[in-house]
């Protein structure tokens, strides 16, 4: 039985090579988290939908090769597998252009979740992209609520993508609506401000804690990361590595954080009482895994247990 269940988009990242030609790499943040967690030693399952096409077959193989339970990853002929074209500007910062109108992942329905997966899950992770349209939004919310109801952890990465949000009316409101379902929330500093509508980080964090979030991770790229509860905060510098591709580094951080929490047997009530030593260890571990993820091209190829 999977300890961690993730759901949402599983799509193909089209990444430019040295000659400017786009090459397919499997991706999608929740899918990456499942693969990363599996490679770190956690049993993981992914729930989503793919198209009945060659790109969908790439994704099926990606999850299976990553040791992920794919019993909830189903095929639809109603839409094609979504694509995300990645371009790099200002150094290593990736920009995304999405091709999905709709994508197969947006057609996820509540009945697509095998009941046994959610019943046995210790943690559930999702992002905001699956909340932008129905039926995927309702399916995602119902799954998070079911895991919360039996005492499981819920992890949320808003993963805000302006290029996609601009094509989905109400996307930001949908992303904000998920805050109250999460025990753990991971975001960049920019996402934190956009998600809460508060420019000052301390005010944004207070907002999240007042709405039920118990542990917040702020990833800052080359400037490291922050892990904080309402009472204790740890700030760490980034790990020195030779960066090749930053795609998926945030997903690696999330996977390592959730893995670290579950390996310690921590449950939702334990998170807000974490001491500084434990918080430091969790942040250091997640920071290191995220750094290693940037040392190879592709979202998960650099993942290994340090």
pLDDT, position 227: 98
Distance CA 178, CA 34 (A): 20
Distance CA 287, CA 237 (A): 8
Tokens at 225, concatenated:
């990361």
Using alpha carbons only, give the angle 46, 48, 50 rounded to the nearest 5 degrees. Answer: 120
Q: Assess whether pLDDT exceeds 80 at residue 157.
A: yes
Alpha helices of 178-275 — where are they, by DSSP H? 189-196, 201-210, 249-263, 268-271
pLDDT digits (tens, 9 = 90+) for 171-216: 999 999 999 999 999 999 999 999 999 999 999 999 999 999 999 9
How confident is residue 142, by pLDDT bands cut at 50, 70 and 90?
very high
Distance CA 133, CA 114 (A): 21
Cβ atoms within 10 Å, residue 210: 10
How confident is residue 170, by pLDDT bands cut at 50, 70 and 90?
very high
Q: How many residues does the structure list for the chain?
A: 306
Determine the average pLDDT of the residues in 265-292.
Answer: 95
Cβ atoms within 10 Å, residue 53: 16
Determine the average pLDDT of the residues in 264-271.
Answer: 97
Q: Strand pairing of 225-228 and 215-219?
A: antiparallel
Lowest average pLDDT, out of 103-112, 123-132, 183-192, 239-248, goes to 239-248
CA 102 to chain centroid: 20
Of 295 and 76, which is predicted with more confidence?
76
Domains located in the chain, CATH noted? 4-293 (3.40.1190.20)
Q: Assess whether pLDDT exceeds 80 at residue 300.
A: no
Distance CA 179, CA 96 (A): 24
pLDDT, position 222: 86
Of 227 and 244, which is predicted with more confidence?
227
How confident is residue 293, by pLDDT bands cut at 50, 70 and 90?
confident
Percent of the chain clearing pLDDT 70 (strictly above): 94
pLDDT digits (tens, 9 = 90+) for 85-101: 888 776 566 777 888 88
Determine the average pLDDT of the residues in 117-126.
Answer: 96
The terminus-to-terminus CA distance of the chain in angstroms comes to 25
Q: What is the pTM of this model?
A: 0.93
SS3 category, 129 = helix
How confident is residue 303, by pLDDT bands cut at 50, 70 and 90?
low
pLDDT digits (tens, 9 = 90+) for 43-71: 999 999 999 999 999 999 999 999 999 99
pLDDT, position 48: 97
Distance CA 6, CA 221 (A): 23
Q: Assess whether pLDDT exceeds 80 at residue 242.
A: no
């Amino acid at each position: 039985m999977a300890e961690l269940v993730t759901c949402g988009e599983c799509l193909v990242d089209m990444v430019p090579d040295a000659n400017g030609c786009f090459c397919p790499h499997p991706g999608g943040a929740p899918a990456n988290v499942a693969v990363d967690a599996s490679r770190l030693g956690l049993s993981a399952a992914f729930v989503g939908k793919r198209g009945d096409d060659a790109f969908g077959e790439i994704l099926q193989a990606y999850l299976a090769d990553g040791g992920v339970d794919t019993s909830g990853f189903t095929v639809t002929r109603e839409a094609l597998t979504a694509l995300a074209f990645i371009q790099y500007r200002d150094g290593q910062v990736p920009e995304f252009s999405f091709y999905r109108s709709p994508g197969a992942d947006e057609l996820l329905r509540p009945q697509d979740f095998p009941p046994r997966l959610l019943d046995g899950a210790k943690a559930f992770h999702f992002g905001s992209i699956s909340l932008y349209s129905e039926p995927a939004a309702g399916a995602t919310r119902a799954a998070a609520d079911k895991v919360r109801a039996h005492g499981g952890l819920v992890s949320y990465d808003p993963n805000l993508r302006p290029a996609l949000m601009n094509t989905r009316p109400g996307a930001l409101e949908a992303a904000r609506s998920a805050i109250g379902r999460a025990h753990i929330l991971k975001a960049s500093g920019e996402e934190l401000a956009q998600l809460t509508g508060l420019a000052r980080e301390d005010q944004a964090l207070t907002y999240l804690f007042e709405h039920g979030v118990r542990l917040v991770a702020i990833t800052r790229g080359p400037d490291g990361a922050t892990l904080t509860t309402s009472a204790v905060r740890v700030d760490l510098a980034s790990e020195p590595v030779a960066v090749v591709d930053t795609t998926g580094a945030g997903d690696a951080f999330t996977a390592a954080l959730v893995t670290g929490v579950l390996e310690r047997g921590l449950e939702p009530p334990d998170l807000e009482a974490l001491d500084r030593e434990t918080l430091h260890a969790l942040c250091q571990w997640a920071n290191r895994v995220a750094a290693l993820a940037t040392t190879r091209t592709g979202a998960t190829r650099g993942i290994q247990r340090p």
